[in-house]
Each structure stands twice: as C-alpha cells, then as structure tokens.
Amino acid sequence: MSELLITGSTGFIGKQVLKQLAQGEERLLLLVRSPEKAAAALSKQGFGGGDAAERIQFLKGDLSEPNLGLNPADYNRALQADVIIHAGGPMSITLDNAKAQRTFLEGSRHLAELAERIHKARGLRHFIHVVGYMSPIHDGNVDPDADVFRMDDFMKGEGPYERMKFLADLLIRQQALRHGYPLSVVNPSTVVGASPTGATEQTGGLGILVHAVRKGLMPVVPGGASHWVPLVANDALAGVIVHLAREAKPEGGTYNMLGRKEAGPNMKELLDLIARELAVPAPRGALPVSLLRGVMKTGLGRLTGIPAESLAFITERSFDTKTTEKLIGRMGAKPLEVMELLPMVVADLDYRLTHPGASEPAHWSRERKGDLAALVREGLGEPWVIVHGLLSGADDFVPLAEHLHASTGNPVWLLDLPGFGRSPLLREGRHSLESYAKAVSEAIADSPVPVRLVGHSFGARIALETANGPAGGKLSTLALLQPVLHRPDVGALRRALSGTRRTASAALRLMSVRAMRNTMLREGVYAAEEEIPDGYVETVVRCLTSPRIAAANADMLHSLYRKLPAKPAMPVLPTSLHTTVIWGTKDRTYALPEAYRNQVGTRLVSYGHQFPVSHPAVTAKILAEQV
C-alpha cells in the first residue's frame, strides 16, 4: 500500500487533496503543527471516522526546523513514505523576507533532505511540489550548481513571498536532478473554490480584487483588456495532484494549472463580472500595472487593503499548458475553465469579507442547489427545504432546522435566495415572483424524492408561487410561515425607498443597529426586545454592508411594494398538497385573510413576524405535527 507524506494538508489546497484521497486506500502521513487542530479541521472533511480516518497519521512538526521538527520516531515514520506532496506554506503575499525564507526555502531544504534519505534507502516513487504559475523556473533552465541561499539578485524588486517560493522551486528541482527521483512541479494559478459551490476560504487571492471592487477602491482596470488573472478551481487542481500521486511510473514534469488565455476572462471582463455580481459600478479606463504597483508601494496599499504584491498576479503573458492539457486528457477530466463557477465564487468571497472569521455551524455542509447556495444537514427521507424572507438568510434558520432534524430525522436544506447569503444575484427578472420561484424550483429539481417546502415571510410567497408552478409536483407538503400576501402598510418614505435599487440599497446600508432594532419592534417583527436572539440585529446590519446583499434586499423591497396587492389577498392554495399556515398574531405590518384563518391546517401563535427565528422549537413542533 502506498504511503504519502503531505505538507499543507490543512490548507486550502491540501484539504481538497485529502477530500479526494478519502476515496482511496493510501496511508496518509500528515506533517502538521497541531495534531489536535488538524484532526478537528479534517473531521469536517469526512475524515471523522471509518476507513479514511484510520489511514491517517499526524506527524507533529515544523517545515522550517531541522528534520522537519519531528521527534526521532516520527521522522523514521516519515522515511517510510514513497510519495511526497509538498503543498505547505501560507498564502500570505505580504510575508517579510525572514519568515518567507524560513517557510519556503528552509522548509524545502529540510524536505529535500528527507527525500534524499528515502530515495537512497528504498527509492522515492514521486515528489510533487506545488509552487505557482508565475515561477520563472522550468524544466529547461535549472542551474544545478546555483546556490539558492546566495542568489540575492533573483527576482530583485519582487516581494519575499514570490522570491522565496520560487527559489524553493529551484532548490527542489536541483535535488531531484542530483539524486534521480521523479519530480512533478504543479504550478497553480490563482485558486478559487471547488465546484459546484465555489466556496473560497482563501480570501487573499481573488478576494483582494473582490474587496477592492466592492469598496470602490479600483476605479480603473489594471493593465486593461490585454491583461488577465489566470484562475483554477480547487477541485481541478487537487484532482491533478491526486492523479500524479497515484501514478505507478511517474514521468515527472511541470504542469501549469490554468486555462488558455483566450478562453478565460481578461482583466476588464473579470472586473466587470465582479462588479455585476456585487451590484456596484464597474471600473472604467485602464492604467499600466507597473504604475499602479508603484502607487501602492507608497503606503496606499496598506491603507486600501490592496497589497502592491497582489498586482504581480496580473499579467499579459500566455503560459505553456501543453503538458497539462495532455495530462487532463489522460485523466478524462474537464478543461480548466471557471467562468460558470465565478458568480458563486464572488458571492462566497463577498460573504466571507462581510463576515470575517464566521464559523460554520457544526454538522452542516455548504452545497449548491441549482444556482443557489444552501446549508444542508443530512438525514433520511424527504428533505425539509426552508426559504427565508427579507433581511434574512439561510444561517438565520439553523436553530429551526436543528429542531426539525432532531424531531423528524429528515434532511434539511436551508436555501439562500438570489443575492442573499452566498447566492449570486438574479440575472434577469429581479423584481418578479416568477424569477424567485424559478430559482427555488431549480434548487429542488435534483432531489430524488419529494420535498417538504417551507417558506417564511416573502419566502412563503415565493414558496406558494413555486407550489403553483411546474415544480409543484416535486412537493409532498407546503408550509407558509407568516406569508406576506399584500404590500406593507407603512409610510410614504418607506414606499419611496422601494423605487430604485440604488436608493433602497443606500438607505439600508446606512441603517444603524439601534435604528434597525427599533424598526423591528415598531413593526412587530419581534413582539418584544427579549425575543430578539443575541447578535441577530448586529448580523442583519453587518450583512447590509455588502452591496450585493443590500441590493438583493432592495430588489425584494421593490417586489413587496410594487408587485403585491394593497390589501390582504388570498392566492389559490394548491389543492393537491397538504398545506400548513402558521401566523404570528403580534405582527403589526401584515395581515392574514380571514379565509386563511379559518381553514384546516392554520395555526395562530402569539408571536411577532419573525417567530421562526425567535421561537424555533415551537415552530418546528408545529411543522412536525402538521406533516
């Protein structure tokens, strides 16, 4: 059985590599600083138990230390590896020279010493080094006698991160030539999240551009349309690494992991796409990259959060991808294209930048349903599918979903409507109920069994539209929680703010926590202040700092004020479905038609509009009883 020694296994790339290796039989030796933290992180990746976990051994060490900082027993264990995957080192382009040298250059030297010992003792089958697409080192220009620790003029003027990473590339190549073991150098371009979700936890790459555009800090296009930022999806990159690790007789070589320049977005197209997905003005005009880098080095980079070093990834070069394309052809994999994934990537990065450090709820996974982001809790039987309303998102309904899951054992899907949470904005029909319903319909289309659709507030109106449309046949039950069936009965100012996306977005983004809390209490969103969950209002206000989420709420406000009738109306309920209506009587803004109040399946509760959030256990109990 093959044994793989892996550095960087808890990083953005490494975790995806492990996820794909989970389906294999290899023994995995993971060099980590903290086995406890690594074990906790990897349990979320599906290594929490079973055969995959039994194949892992953590080796506590440090790349920058002699003998990799391993104790003698663990070093001897590392010597049993027949494949080394070196993906270690932080994605931190602002590293200072000393730390970059310790991390990349010293670390590679210590790993090369281990590789030499393995090869002399029993033969190293393959060394796989993950470097970067801007490395000037390639198979034809390796100087075997160069002293990498004295090459002070190498890439002079560039940042320490790139200099030391690429000197490490040269060092590893020298050692492989000297000792004769196969070496594959994998050069990823800027890495974005894996398909289909696009979840990009490494915000220091494309996230820098997303940050700049959403804050209005990039009014021009660096380099113009002749330049580009090559991109690669994390799962495609990991697939190549895993394939190379499993080759019985590796040839070695250099694999530039990026698509062809003409097939991907140029710099203007990329920034236009980011701006469109964030609902902000796109940059206009162009300036040379060299000029912008000079400006950023004056200190403006630190003030804006756009490091001068980040502009080094913008290039007008094309890259040799023939070797990579041949390998991908042998693998039967798809070409390295990311255009279809980019809206999901931008939405995910925008969410992470809006909520830095936010932790994922335990036992839930981020998935993609149609073109919507979703939180999913696994279970047996028909899934509950919950659709939120205004000023909400999937994460707000986790407590309700936990109670539903505990009482029924069914799977639960929490959808982010278009533009909310981590979902991209609607491309067309952003003010139509049909467009929202279509997005929900596509989200449930792939379910192999009927679903239990639950909608809250305007999400209930969307759920009703979905049930009365072609997707109604996918539903087993329908639950409408505080369904919004008429436009809000509020003042002229609020109605005026629903007129345009720009006006409403600006007003929403200006709201303070205090103003938001007072508005919620005044309108009966919550019946009393003690009902508001801790941190809820603060989270709502923080969400609205995202121009994308503010725009999505503005679009929904427009639909509320301009698309719904002025007085309570009773849309037709689907006759083929068991339908539950739960209504909070403390709501001061919306009313329930009398015909709904008196029908079988309606429950009145003495709460405010947002009762599924303030009283999740009671709501879950009623839903479970009604099914």
pLDDT in tens, 264-303: 899 999 999 999 999 999 999 999 988 888 877 777 666 6
Q: What is the mean pLDDT of residues 393-414?
A: 97
What is the SS3 assignment for 77? helix
What are 438-479's pLDDT values in tens digits? 999 999 998 999 999 999 999 999 999 999 999 999 999 999
H helices present in 468-512, as ranges = 492-497, 501-510
CA–CA distance from 120 to each of 1, 82, 291, 435 (Å)? 20, 12, 50, 64
Q: What is the pLDDT of residues 96-140, one digit of tens each?
A: 888 888 989 999 999 999 999 999 999 999 999 999 999 999 988
Enter the pTM of the model.
0.93
Q: Report percent pLDDT > 90 for the chain.
A: 73
Window from 221-235, 288-302, 334-348, 503-517 with minimum mean pLDDT: 288-302
Q: Which residue has the higher pLDDT, 79 or 598?
A: 79
| Cis ω for the linkage preceding 343 (within 30 of 0) | no
Query: What is the four-CA torsion angle of 207, 212, 213, 217, rounded to 10 degrees?
Result: 180
Name the strands in the sheet holding 126-130, side by side, starting at the edge strand that comes first in the sequence.
56-60, 27-32, 3-7, 83-86, 126-130, 183-188, 253-257
Predicted confidence (pLDDT) at residue 495 exceeds the cutoff of 70: no
Q: What is the DSSP letter of 151?
A: -
pLDDT tens per residue across span 40-84 = 887 776 665 556 668 899 999 999 999 999 999 999 999 999 999
Over range 199-203, report the average pLDDT.
Answer: 93
Decide: residue 347, CB within 10 A, 0-12 exposed, 13-18 middle, 19+ buried: buried
Mean pLDDT of the chain: 91
Which candidate, 47, 53, 111, 118, places its Cα nearest to that of 85?
A: 111
Q: In which band, very low, low, confident or very high, does the pLDDT at 378 lie, cut at 50, 70 and 90?
A: very high
Q: Does residue 94 carry a pLDDT above 80?
A: no
The 10 Å Cβ neighbour count of residue 35 is 14
